[in-house]
Structure 1
Amino acid sequence: MNLLKIDTMKQLYFGDNLDIMKKLHSDHPEGFIDLIYIDPPFNSKRNYNVLFEDIDLKDTKAQKEAFSDTWSNVSYNDTLMEIQELDLDLYKFIKALDEIRISKSAISYLTTMAIRIHYMHKLLKKTGSFYLHCDPTMSHYLKLVCDLVFGINNFRNEIVWCYRKWSASNNRYLRSHDIILFYGKSNINTFNVQYLPYSEGTFKRWKGKKQASEFKDGVRVHQFSTAEDSIGTYMPDWWEVSIINPAAKERLGYPTQKPIALMERIILASSTENDLVADFFCGCGTTIAAAEKLNRNWMGVDISHLAVKLIIDRLVKPYPELKQQEIRKNIHVDGFPKDIASALELAQNTDKHRVQFQDWIIEFMIGGVSNTKKSGDGGFDGYITFALPESEKRKGIAIIEVKSGNVGIATLRAFMNVVEKQKADIGVFVCFANQVTSGMQIEANNKGKIGNHPKIQIVTVDDLLDGKRPSFPYKSETTVYAKSTTRLDKEQKESGLFD
């Protein structure tokens, strides 16, 4: 992490953003980021799930938690003590809230956010800018946190992002805006003035020309148009940008996805080409996609395999295959195994090692979906779909089994029975190369083929690290993220700050 090439950076980190920021600050104490935008959880007391396309499998569940926005069970005392050593005023503020009638969930959330905002401030250049996206649930408290961290004199704007919604409420006005807090690291933060087109009436009146005024004794006595074309009116801090239409191509099905037009507006205002833009809660990567489109360098962090995989696909998939390979080579991912030694460490020597190892293999390396419903033997670890001829009127299904420990012919046979039980088209069995025996290969080959592709495929971790992937009759399609924003968790009544 201490060999960052900032002038050509396209960097994704998988892991806890606090750990990553601490390491970055240790390596670069002077600050090196031009613009940070974050859209963190809002303390809404909801669990957000991503949806997957419907498939006909008996032992799977078509959703997986993208992130939990529930903080009541998060311990914050250790973090609060750490804040005391970093910023005494910030500690006193949160401690004072902790001693009055505010929920422990709210204090936990503020503590978690405060220490992260502290390190984001440290990572910014002196000319850097910070945008914090929040909703009315905690925006007023986060404003005070940011005032303490950045200094109230470095507060620039409370941006109101307005959008149309088609829901209704019987006892209040319709909630249809978010807040974006904008701060500079200092009084010399980068800012490029943005303009909006004139209203139709104003444009007609002045015929698209710049306006000028004549003053006498400090009073305007005459206003007229010049010969110079107008570039519009100064952009205010009230933005009307449409939310993403559920049927839009931009829609990825990721919860809380923001429109790319919103991110482009922020990036154009507070950075220039080749500047470094960072998002430490990058989710489905809208900030990253906008930065790439606008020729900025970028850095993204997320704690989800799904998010990191989706961001890479989002950047790569619009292009032909050769261009995809070129783009992938320029994207660096930190936090995942890069060789057999680190893969073995993940599989055997880390907390919750088996699940983390499975998720890395299935979701990141193969591009499938982990099966959250599986319990014990007899199920399968994940799946991926692939296209079949239109005459089939369905998609092909490959189920995936990942083994991190000892395997043999008996283990493989048990998996083949699951493939038959699930009526899957293909079975993909993943293990380390030194575990594969000639007997296992013969057993797999005896199951025949689907076209020219083996029905049962033994794919080693070594193969995956070398860039090899399972073989399917037609092009495989990652099944993560159906084109929907419906949450499968039951809508919970919104909790108050004092609950």
Structure 2
Amino acid sequence: MVDAAVHPAWTPDGPNLVVHADNLEYLAGLPDGSFTMIYVDPPFNTGRAQRRQQTTMVRSAPGEGDRIGFKGLSYSTVRGMLASYDDAFEDYWEFLAPRLAEAWRLLADDGTLYVHLDYREVHYAKVMLDMLFGRASFLNEIIWAYDYGARARRRWPAKHDNILVYVKDPEGYYFNSDEVDREPYMAPGLVTPEKAALGKLPTDVWWHTIVSPTGREKTGYPTQKPEGLIRRAVAASSRPGDWVLDFFAGSGTLGAAAGKLDRRFVCVDSNPQAIEVMERRLAPWLVETDRDGVPVATG
């Protein structure tokens, strides 16, 4: 584990890392284009008091004004409209937008970002990502459907999460469906026996149960996501030996999936409980390091 006080000397041929740090501070010290795949599961509740801060802006000439987005375009008008519609938006933008901007910078030219959200916040992040990456870079909205939890009686029960998928370069991103585990056909009798035995490629709706409360995969960390879910994204959007990143790492599911698929990983979290869980869970793929991130002899 690397303490936040000293950023590790990350290098392409360095060890896998579990980093205890404020993610925005840590990401700023990493070089551009370092990761082929980034997966994040950000919280909605930033822990900050809500506030209204309406800013009225008009689009100005190139190089003028104080809020310029990617490609020189200003999106302040949209931001102001949304902030006036929902007073939680301004806080969420201030918290998440700079971290997503860092994700764009850190992605390799053929890289892919997966942002895992639920129905209450996905619309906020979609607007941000369209602005930061450009709408042409939007690849998919994956629906993770599951069947566990309380049963609502006054509305349709919410049994899905959303995963927004954006690529750095819409003309040159890496994606290999041959590496993805296939799944059974829902109606195997409608296809040939050969196809039924092979299974089908997943669509943008992923049926996968949650982490079993009594299963071996369970770490006890809240919000833990199933390894099979993240494995699918890692397998499709990175190659063996590629670097992958999760800067809201939690229980370290990305690291576990990456280690088993021979990818290299950096997992960042500010929660000491998360670091303890990850150090245990990811031990097979971690090398003991000193405070500067330099590997040291053990045993």
TM-score by length of 1: 0.51
Q: How does 1:334-373 map to 2 (within 5 A)?
A: none
Structure 2 counterpart SS, 1:233: coil
Quick check: 1:122 aligned with 2:99? Answer: no
- Cα gap change, 1:207/1:251 in structure 2, threshold over 3 Å: closer, same or farther? same
Higher relative contact order (CA 8 A, sep 6+): 2
Between the aligned partners of 1:200 and 1:287, the Cα distance in structure 2 is 28
2:12 alignment counterpart: 6
Counterpart residue type for residue 210 of structure 2:
I
Q: How does 1:8-407 map to 2 (within 5 A)?
A: 8-24=14-30, 28-29=31-32, 31-43=33-45, 69-72=46-49, 84=67, 87=70, 89-98=74-83, 100-103=84-87, 105-187=88-170, 188-193=172-177, 194=180, 196-199=182-185, 201-202=187-188, 205-209=191-195, 231-316=198-283, 328=286, 330-332=287-289
Assess if the C-alpha contact under 8 Å between 2:219 and 2:277 holds in 1: no
Between the aligned partners of 1:96 and 1:122, the Cα distance in structure 2 is 27
Assess if the C-alpha contact under 8 Å between 2:142 and 2:163 holds in 1: yes
How many residues in Structure 1 have an aligned counterpart in Structure 2?
A: 276
Counterpart residue type for residue 5 of structure 1:
T
Between the aligned partners of 2:218 and 2:35, the Cα distance in structure 1 is 29
Between the aligned partners of 2:270 and 2:292, the Cα distance in structure 1 is 10
Counterpart residue type for residue 248 of structure 1:
G
Deviation at 1:111, TM superposition (A): 2.0
Assess if the C-alpha contact under 8 Å between 2:52 and 2:90 holds in 1: no
- Cα gap change, 1:309/1:197 in structure 2, threshold over 3 Å: closer, same or farther? closer
Counterpart residue type for residue 148 of structure 2:
K
Between the aligned partners of 1:333 and 1:263, the Cα distance in structure 2 is 29
Between the aligned partners of 1:191 and 1:107, the Cα distance in structure 2 is 34
Larger Rg over CA atoms: 1
Q: Which runs of 5+ in 1 are unaligned?
A: 44-68, 78-82, 211-229, 317-323, 339-465, 469-499
Structure 2 counterpart SS, 1:196: coil
- Cα RMSD (Å): 3.0
- Cα gap change, 1:335/1:199 in structure 2, threshold over 3 Å: closer, same or farther? same
- Cα gap change, 1:288/1:198 in structure 2, threshold over 3 Å: closer, same or farther? closer
Between the aligned partners of 1:75 and 1:259, the Cα distance in structure 2 is 37
Between the aligned partners of 2:13 and 2:198, the Cα distance in structure 1 is 32
1:458 alignment counterpart: none
Counterpart residue type for residue 12 of structure 1:
V
Assess if the C-alpha contact under 8 Å between 1:11 and 1:331 holds in 2: no
Deviation at 1:235, TM superposition (A): 1.7
Deviation at 1:3, TM superposition (A): 4.1
Identity of aligned residues (%): 30
Assess if the C-alpha contact under 8 Å between 1:14 and 1:333 holds in 2: no
The structure where strand makes up a greater share of residues is: 1
Between the aligned partners of 1:200 and 1:257, the Cα distance in structure 2 is 28
Between the aligned partners of 2:269 and 2:10, the Cα distance in structure 1 is 18
Counterpart residue type for residue 174 of structure 2:
T
- Cα gap change, 1:245/1:118 in structure 2, threshold over 3 Å: closer, same or farther? same
1:408 alignment counterpart: none
Structure 1 counterpart SS, 2:213: coil
Structure 2 counterpart SS, 1:312: helix
Counterpart residue type for residue 162 of structure 1:
A
Q: Which runs of 4+ in 1 moved over 2 A?
A: 1-5, 69-77, 83-98, 194-205, 230-234, 331-336
Assess if the C-alpha contact under 8 Å between 2:69 and 2:132 holds in 1: no
TM-score by length of 2: 0.82
Deviation at 1:147, TM superposition (A): 0.8
Assess if the C-alpha contact under 8 Å between 1:195 and 1:231 holds in 2: no
